[in-house]
């Protein structure tokens, strides 16, 4: 999380990743060019990195190789590379003053800035400068910080309980990512005893990746802290209560949070269980199977709810406008996501590009590929027409971008027609069969359709002249025993399949 890493640590981390992930050692000149360091800064950072790595890992875990001003890091540990980077990142975050401020305010309620400064061993003036940036950061989460001593509240953070929980989960997961257990007041042993078994019962291992189970554990622990320790409870409006109740009737994933709530009033427990169902589906990707998503959407259609009517209208109009073909099952899965998107926009409202996890933060939108101008223009036109019909729709910039992401997700989740390919190999009688079989093995029959009509073929693979075919659609396969030719063929097909998937 960049906000919680100071500039020097951020630069050292960039230097480490550059040298650690490089396929071969990198020269000083290239390092200085890529990272825009001075030579003296580079050598200072290398020295500091040596100390940082020794503090984060075993002192002998990393070796900095230097041969004639060409550098690389060699790891002597069996730890996965991504985990190494995440641990070093966590080390830097935990050392930052902004992180320490948020953590202090999370654990204790302060009545003055001086009191915080005293606990963190910094001057009040320095703390005020840091708080100014933190105030701006928290605005995105619809939260403020209040130090007034006469306010009766359990924390310095001020905002709705929904926004407070969203921020705490975002903060802890973004920083720790399951690398270590950060909740000292609920030891991991106690969590395992009270909650982990419940998660394992509801989510069998084959249905839940370890990181997702840990992420749910963070949600559970923060819920436990807010409800049991702080006595702060969720309050849902009638519209959201009705929708979440219907979702729970199909798949209630809240059983693990009520194990220690025997003394709470039933209405509080009900609201907390409903919110946990909502919160988990917003924060953790795909906790429902595709079959469950479709069943949930079908059940929600039975409600007399303006929100559901709106979501159905959105999906119907998007399907009509872009002429999308969906099976009944696929349409229900898409409706499930439309409803979650809309509930997020209505009740969470944190700008999605920075803070949402999958499935909202779509991997397609994070790739180097950008929306084609024609698709972007079409989405703009569709959006304008839709909001004219739906005046109550949230028209903020972040909601517009989220609507674009949702529309793009639905459009690109539609199964594409396979690419028609003609294969001709004249050198031997079995060559054509072998080429087709290899292509099917690599790319599957759902992506490639072999045909014999050259006028209908999108790609032509041949060892002969086949007429006036554009170079970008023709691959000349001279012989079949050269691995370089096979690699070139597979790269050729892969590039066209890639372009085909973004052709809208």
Burial class of residue 478 (count of CB atoms within 10 Å of its CB; 0-12, 13-18, 19+): exposed
pLDDT, average across residues 231-246? 96
Least confident of 53-67, 213-227, 393-407: 393-407
pLDDT, average across residues 222-251? 94
Strand order in the sheet with 62-66: 26-27, 70-75, 62-66
Are 174 and 215 contacting, i.e. CB atoms less than 8 angstroms apart?
no
Tokens of 87: 């641990």
pLDDT score recorded for residue 373 = 66
Q: What percentage of the chain reaches a pLDDT higher than 90?
A: 47
Are 275 and 161 contacting, i.e. CB atoms less than 8 angstroms apart?
no
Global pTM reads: 0.82
pLDDT score recorded for residue 170 = 92
Are 44 and 29 contacting, i.e. CB atoms less than 8 angstroms apart?
no
**Better-scored residue on pLDDT, 414 or 157:** 157
Q: With CA atoms as reference, report the closest residue to 474 among 461, 493, 465, 488.
A: 461
pLDDT score recorded for residue 364 = 33
pLDDT score recorded for residue 356 = 46
Highest mean pLDDT among 68-82, 114-128, 174-188, 352-366: 114-128
Least confident of 26-30, 162-166, 445-449: 445-449
What contacts 345, CB < 8 A, 6 or more positions away? 394, 399, 402
Question: Model confidence over 105-135: pLDDT tens digits?
Answer: 998 899 999 999 999 999 999 999 999 999 9
Q: What percentage of the chain reaches a pLDDT higher than 70?
A: 87
Rg of the chain over Cα atoms, rounded to whole angstroms, equals 28
Tokens of 289: 């199977």
Confidence of residue 277 (pLDDT cuts 50, 70, 90): very high
pLDDT score recorded for residue 357 = 40
pLDDT, average across residues 239-260? 88
Tokens of 497: 């399949």
What domains are defined for the chain?
2-80 (1.10.10.10), 290-413 (no CATH), 419-501 (3.40.50)
> Measured between alpha carbons, how far is 455 from 412 in angstroms, rounded to an integer?
27
Q: Is 459 helix (H, G, I), strand (E, B) or coil?
A: strand
pLDDT score recorded for residue 368 = 34
> Measured between alpha carbons, how far is 314 from 239 in angstroms, rounded to an integer?
18
Are 242 and 306 contacting, i.e. CB atoms less than 8 angstroms apart?
no
> Measured between alpha carbons, how far is 361 from 406 in angstroms, rounded to an integer?
10
Q: Is 145 helix (H, G, I), strand (E, B) or coil?
A: strand
pLDDT score recorded for residue 497 = 84
Are 259 and 195 contacting, i.e. CB atoms less than 8 angstroms apart?
yes
Question: Model confidence over 364-389: pLDDT tens digits?
Answer: 333 333 455 677 888 889 988 888 88
DSSP 212-252: HHHHHHHHHHHHHIIIIIS-------HHHHHHHHHHHHH--
> Measured between alpha carbons, how far is 399 from 392 in angstroms, rounded to an integer?
13
pLDDT score recorded for residue 153 = 79
Confidence of residue 193 (pLDDT cuts 50, 70, 90): low
Given a cut of 90, is residue 235 above it in pLDDT?
yes
Phi, then psi, of 38 in degrees rounded to 5: -85, 160
73, β-bridge pairs: 64
Burial class of residue 360 (count of CB atoms within 10 Å of its CB; 0-12, 13-18, 19+): buried
pLDDT score recorded for residue 371 = 52
- Mean pLDDT of all residues belonging to the chain: 86
Given a cut of 60, is residue 469 above it in pLDDT?
yes
Length reported for the chain:
504
Given a cut of 70, is residue 258 above it in pLDDT?
no
Burial class of residue 76 (count of CB atoms within 10 Å of its CB; 0-12, 13-18, 19+): exposed
What contacts 120, CB < 8 A, 6 or more positions away? 97, 100, 101, 104, 127
pLDDT score recorded for residue 370 = 47
pLDDT, average across residues 88-113? 94
> Measured between alpha carbons, how far is 281 from 258 in angstroms, rounded to an integer?
18
């Amino acid at each position: 999380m960049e906000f919680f890493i100071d500039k020097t640590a951020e630069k050292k981390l960039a230097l480490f990743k550059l040298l650690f992930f490089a396929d071969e050692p990198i020269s000083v000149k290239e390092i200085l060019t890529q990272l825009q360091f001075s030579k003296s800064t580079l050598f200072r950072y290398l020295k500091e990195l040596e100390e940082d790595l020794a503090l984060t890992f075993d002192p002998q875990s990393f070796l900095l190789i230097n041969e004639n001003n060409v550098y690389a890091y060699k790891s002597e540990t069996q730890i996965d590379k991504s985990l190494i980077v995440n641990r070093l990142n966590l080390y830097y975050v935990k050392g930052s003053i902004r992180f320490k401020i948020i953590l202090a305010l999370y654990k204790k309620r302060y009545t003055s800035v001086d009191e915080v400064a005293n606990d963190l061993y910094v001057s009040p003036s320095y703390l005020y400068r840091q708080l100014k940036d933190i105030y701006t950061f928290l605005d995105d989460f619809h939260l403020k910080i209040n130090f007034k001593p006469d306010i009766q509240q359990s924390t310095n953070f001020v905002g709705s309980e929904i926004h407070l929980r969203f921020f705490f989960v975002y903060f802890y997961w973004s920083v720790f990512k399951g690398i270590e257990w950060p909740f000292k007041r609920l030891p991991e042993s106690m969590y395992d005893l009270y909650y982990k078994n419940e998660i394992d019962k509801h989510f069998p291992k084959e249905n839940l990746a370890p990181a997702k189970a840990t992420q749910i554990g963070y949600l559970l622990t923060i819920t436990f802290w807010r409800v049991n320790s702080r006595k702060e409870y969720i309050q849902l409006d009638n519209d959201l209560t009705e929708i979440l109740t219907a979702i729970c009737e199909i798949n209630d994933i809240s059983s693990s949070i009520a194990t220690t709530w025997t003394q709470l009033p039933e209405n509080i427990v009900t609201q907390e269980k409903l919110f946990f169902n909502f919160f988990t589906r917003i924060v953790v990707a795909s906790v429902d199977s595709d079959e469950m998503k479709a069943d949930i959407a079908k059940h929600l259609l039975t409600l007399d709810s303006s929100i559901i009517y709106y979501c159905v209208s959105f999906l119907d109009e998007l399907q009509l406008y872009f002429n999308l073909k969906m099976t009944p099952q696929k349409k229900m899965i898409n409706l499930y996501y439309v409803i979650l998107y809309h509930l997020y926009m209505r009740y969470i409202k944190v700008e999605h590009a920075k803070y949402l996890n999958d499935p909202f933060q779509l991997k397609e939108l994070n790739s180097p590929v950008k929306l084609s101008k024609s698709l972007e223009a079409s989405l703009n036109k569709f959006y304008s027409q839709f909001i004219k019909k739906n005046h109550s729709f949230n028209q903020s910039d972040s909601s517009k971008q989220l609507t674009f992401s949702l529309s793009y997700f639905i459009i690109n989740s539609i199964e594409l027609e396979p690419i028609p390919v003609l294969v001709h190999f004249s050198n031997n009688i079995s060559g054509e069969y072998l080429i087709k079989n290899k292509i099917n093995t690599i790319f599957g029959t759902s992506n490639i359709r072999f045909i014999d009509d050259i006028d209908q073929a999108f790609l032509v693979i041949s060892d002969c002249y086949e007429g006036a075919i554009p170079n970008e659609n023709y691959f000349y396969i001279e012989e079949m025993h050269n691995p370089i030719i096979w690699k070139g063929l597979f790269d050729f097909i892969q590039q066209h399949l890639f372009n085909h998937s973004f052709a809208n």
